């Protein structure tokens, strides 16, 4: 059983992740913290409340960061809809929230239950960085920290990757996370999530199901499909955040990984978190900052994970 604290900028794939976690018998959602990213922080909190009510989930909710450590927030309304759940006009009142902030909740739970909890970060890493300011040893007190973000090792020459949005939204916070001491830090980046596709057949299976989770999962898909059809010419989506949850619960979904230092680097336009290795395992051709080893996922069994995701939501 994995007892999981979820930090989320609750957009469409974050909602799918909560549905997936709630449907897995080996997962317990212990608490949820909100952060800006796919939508504004208030919308992220409202969406947590909506999904929790749908699932009958009784876990404390704490409101987190509304903007990065520096600079303005970049909100992905063009991807997830302005409200984060596809702008369907859902009734989304604010749920009851804890008196403490998201970073305070992350810190308190880790110190009250050291070694018992896993932290799953699905959005910009601002809450985690703020929590590290309160407790620099925070990650040593979580059983594991698994994050959806990063771009893996340097790609083969001529290869382009999807934007590393969670890192790009707050590179300063990401630097603090990858530099912190930890028990286990796992990076599930766009190098593997972009190819983990919920295709037409899988979407049809969700639509055909009478299960409430599957119905909701397909109801909110339109905005996401509208965005990704411009990438591939097909109405399909990548399972970014759900894959990170899958790897946390079942590490055998990952078929290859490398342990090594991760740096956050910018190219003048965007920031990415990179394993400081080339695609063939060599160090990069420039100096880089030393950092504790992060487990960087480099390949996954996409067929098996997508099948599991669909099975869990259609139960």
Say which residue the tokens 């920031």 belong to.
271
Catalytic residue among 16, 78, 80, 240: 240
Chain centroid to Cα 106, Å, comes to 16
Token couple for 106: 């992350």
Query: Is 74 annotated as catalytic?
Result: no
User: Dihedral, CA atoms, 255, 259, 264, 266, nearest 10 degrees?
Assistant: -60
Residue positions annotated with a catalytic role? 240
């Amino acid at each position: 059983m994995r007892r999981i604290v979820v930090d989320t900028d609750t957009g469409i794939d974050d909602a799918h992740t909560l549905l997936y976690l709630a449907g897995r018998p080996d997962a317990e959602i212990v608490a949820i913290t909100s952060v800006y990213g796919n939508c504004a922080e208030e919308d992220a909190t409202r969406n947590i409340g909506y999904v929790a009510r749908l699932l009958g989930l009784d876990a404390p909710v704490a409101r987190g960061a509304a903007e990065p450590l520096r600079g303005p927030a970049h909100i992905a309304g063009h991807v997830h809809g302005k409200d984060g759940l596809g702008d369907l006009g859902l009734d989304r009142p604010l749920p009851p929230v804890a008196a403490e902030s998201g970073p305070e909740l992350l810190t308190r739970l880790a110190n009250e239950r050291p070694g018992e909890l896993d932290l799953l970060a699905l959005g910009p890493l601002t809450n985690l960085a703020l929590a590290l300011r309160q407790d620099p040893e925070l990650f040593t007190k979580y059983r594991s920290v698994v994050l959806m973000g990063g771009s893996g090792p340097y790609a083969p020459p001529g290869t382009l990757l999807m934007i590393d949005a969670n890192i790009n939204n707050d590179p300063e916070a990401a630097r603090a996370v990858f530099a912190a001491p930890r028990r286990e830090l796992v990076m599930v980046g766009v190098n593997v999530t972009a190819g983990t596709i919920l295709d037409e057949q899988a979407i049809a299976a969700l639509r055909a199901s009478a299960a409430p989770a599957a119905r909701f999962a397909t109801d909110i898909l339109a905005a996401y499909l509208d965005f990704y059809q411009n990438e591939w010419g097909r109405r399909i989506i990548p399972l970014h955040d759900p894959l990170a949850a899958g790897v946390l619960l079942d590490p055998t979904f990952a078929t290859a990984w490398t342990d090594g230092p991760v740096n956050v680097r910018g190219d003048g336009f965007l920031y990415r978190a990179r394993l400081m290795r080339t695609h063939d395992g060599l160090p990069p051709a420039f100096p880089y900052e030393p950092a504790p080893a992060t487990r960087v996922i480099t390949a996954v069994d996409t067929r098996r994970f997508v099948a599991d995701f669909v099975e869990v939501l259609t139960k």
